[in-house]
A and B are shown apart, each in its own frame.
Chain A
Amino acid sequence: MIRVILFAGLASLMVALAVPPDATAAAVIMGTVKNEAGKPLPGLALLEKGEIHNNKWERGALVGADGRFRIELTGGGQYGLHVYSSGYIYSPEAVKVETGKTLEVKVILDPEPTRANTPLIKKAGFFPWEARQGKATFVKVDVADPNGDLGPQVLAFNAATKRAYAMDPPKRITDLKANFPNGVYQLEVDTSKGPINPRDWHFVVADHQCNTTDILSFPHEPKPLKVVGKP
């Protein structure tokens, strides 16, 4: 009997490992990101659940060097897809995917004509909350925008959990069209099940005029901004 149970368990495990990851996803959004000349662009693809610009961030994916990304969802519906690549103006697009289906999108990004108005992520850090004995960690970024029109898109993405987050501004703001302040934005992360791995975290910021930072990835050291220029 024990042998039968062990065999059944082993068989189930093998089947689970053999099944591709999207078999458990209720819906998938996948796509390619390129510039106008057709060059693949790496970056981030992040989703708002529901109406676009509602600031309710949910899932996301890294866009590979081949310009491809894939986001697995727990259900179909309406999403706001935002795609970012360093040196390019981010692309927002309202999309609809049906449960059980895969939506394929093609995103073309346009370079920022100047970086003079681009917000800057000056630094990022991870700070365990002592009062909660390491069960929570604050993820913080220090953001400055030269033309002072930051919006709610101060975003963090955890590539391990595939979760996207809007970070909390230095002061509470209810009108999302208002200009958000420069300063330290933060996010409280539950680390009761394991410590944070900084390598998993990526950050990007876009202001109300769509000026978009470079994506800040590990080791989270900002580099000088460059104008990519038209291809």
Chain B
Amino acid sequence: MSRRIPPLLIGFAVACHVWSGPTCARQAAAESELRAIAAEGERLWTQSPDPSNPVACATCHHDPAKTRGWAASFPKFKPLPPPHSRVMTLLQANAEAVERHYRLPNPLPAATAITAFLTAQGAGIPISPGISAGQPVFPARMRELAASVVRGERLYARSCGQCHKPFDLAPSATAFPRVVEGRAEPLEGFIERHQSLGQQLSWDGQATADIMAYLMSQAAGRPIGHHTYQASTEGKEGS
């Protein structure tokens, strides 16, 4: 039941095939832009922007069979040197890595692009926060994630719940990053700029990760992403 494609979406897709009006054109343009962002993400994944330090993400993480499941496994507890370990979203984890390895002054655009790439790479994989295929499950990490979900539920009820029911919003949350006015927008960015929250939540903060942990717990089992992207590294496992 949870994996059913909403009838409205089916109707929309059929309508776009029959009559490609301006809405469909905008949709196609957004898809195309998102693919471009995913392509940029793949470039950043495989190539360091710092010529003096050529170590890129793909230097170590070059096997798509291993990275394909990453997007669906977030939010999850990220072990970092103390005291920085915490539950993170994929974007937050990417931003942390981009900041550390690429030393970009603003890690958000690169992290968003890499998130788009990894999400597209893993499109269709069922969401399973905290659990990556082929990796051991660590009880302590799952407890941290469970605590994050509880915090997120409280925060959601206080800040978002008056307008949005979680089971309405959770499916949409799986379709980020998206393109808004030609720019990639991660869900964390949307939460940050959302006016009605009553409090400012930063895209990289724990509270944002908690809300997303709650939403993703509601979306567990649904497929991640909303489009596919044929990465140039696909089919070249271990290359």
Q: For B82, give its contact among A54, A80, A210 (CB under 8 Å).
A: A54
Q: For B136, give its contact among A89, A94, A210 (CB under 8 Å).
A: A94
Chain A residues closer than 8 Å to B84, beta-carbon distance = 175-177
- With A95-B136, A110-B60, A117-B53 as known contacts, state yes or no: A175 contacts B83, CB within 8 Å: yes
Q: For A151, give its contact among B53, B60, B81 (CB under 8 Å).
A: B81
Chain A residues closer than 8 Å to B238, beta-carbon distance = 36
Chain A residues closer than 8 Å to B81, beta-carbon distance = 53-55, 151-152, 175-177
**Docked-complex contact A55 and B82, CB < 8 angstroms:** yes
Closest Cβ of chain A to B168, distance in Å, is 36
- With A52-B79, A89-B60, A94-B79 as known contacts, state yes or no: A210 contacts B140, CB within 8 Å: no
Q: Which chain A residues in 30-66 approach chain B with CB under 8 Å?
A: 36, 51-55
Q: Which chain A residues in 102-133 approach chain B with CB under 8 Å?
A: 110, 112-114, 116-117
Any chain A CB within 8 A of the CB of B54?
yes
Any chain A CB within 8 A of the CB of B195?
no
Any chain B CB within 8 A of the CB of A12?
no
Closest Cβ of chain B to A68, distance in Å, is 21
Closest Cβ of chain A to B138, distance in Å, is 6
- With A53-B85, A96-B136 as known contacts, state yes or no: A177 contacts B55, CB within 8 Å: no
Any chain A CB within 8 A of the CB of B151?
no
Q: 1/0 contact trace for A170-210 toward B, CB 8 Å? A: 00000111000000000000000000000000000000111
In the complex, residue of chain B having the shortest beta-carbon distance to the beta carbon of A50: B140
In the bound complex, CA of A78 to CA of B136 (Å): 10
Any chain B CB within 8 A of the CB of A99?
no
Q: For A78, give its contact among B60, B80, B138 (CB under 8 Å).
A: B138
Closest Cβ of chain B to A118, distance in Å, is 11
Closest Cβ of chain A to B167, distance in Å, is 33
In the bound complex, CA of A147 to CA of B84 (Å): 22
Q: Which chain B residues in 78-112 approach chain A with CB under 8 Å?
A: 79-85, 100-101
**Docked-complex contact A113 and B52, CB < 8 angstroms:** no
Any chain A CB within 8 A of the CB of B59?
yes
Any chain B CB within 8 A of the CB of A158?
no
Chain B residues closer than 8 Å to A95, beta-carbon distance = 136
**Docked-complex contact A177 and B80, CB < 8 angstroms:** yes
Any chain B CB within 8 A of the CB of A137?
no
Any chain B CB within 8 A of the CB of A211?
yes
In the bound complex, CA of A175 to CA of B80 (Å): 11
Chain B residues closer than 8 Å to A55, beta-carbon distance = 81-82
Chain A residues closer than 8 Å to B100, beta-carbon distance = 208-209
Closest Cβ of chain A to B36, distance in Å, is 27
In the bound complex, CA of A113 to CA of B100 (Å): 17
- With A51-B79, A53-B85, A110-B60 as known contacts, state yes or no: A96 contacts B53, CB within 8 Å: no
Chain A residues closer than 8 Å to B135, beta-carbon distance = 94
Chain B residues engaging chain A, CB cutoff 8 angstroms: 52-55, 59-60, 62, 79-85, 100-101, 135-136, 138, 140-141, 238
Q: Lowest 10 A-B CB distances belong to which pairs?
A: A176-B81, A96-B136, A113-B54, A177-B81, A52-B79, A51-B79, A53-B81, A53-B79, A177-B84, A209-B101
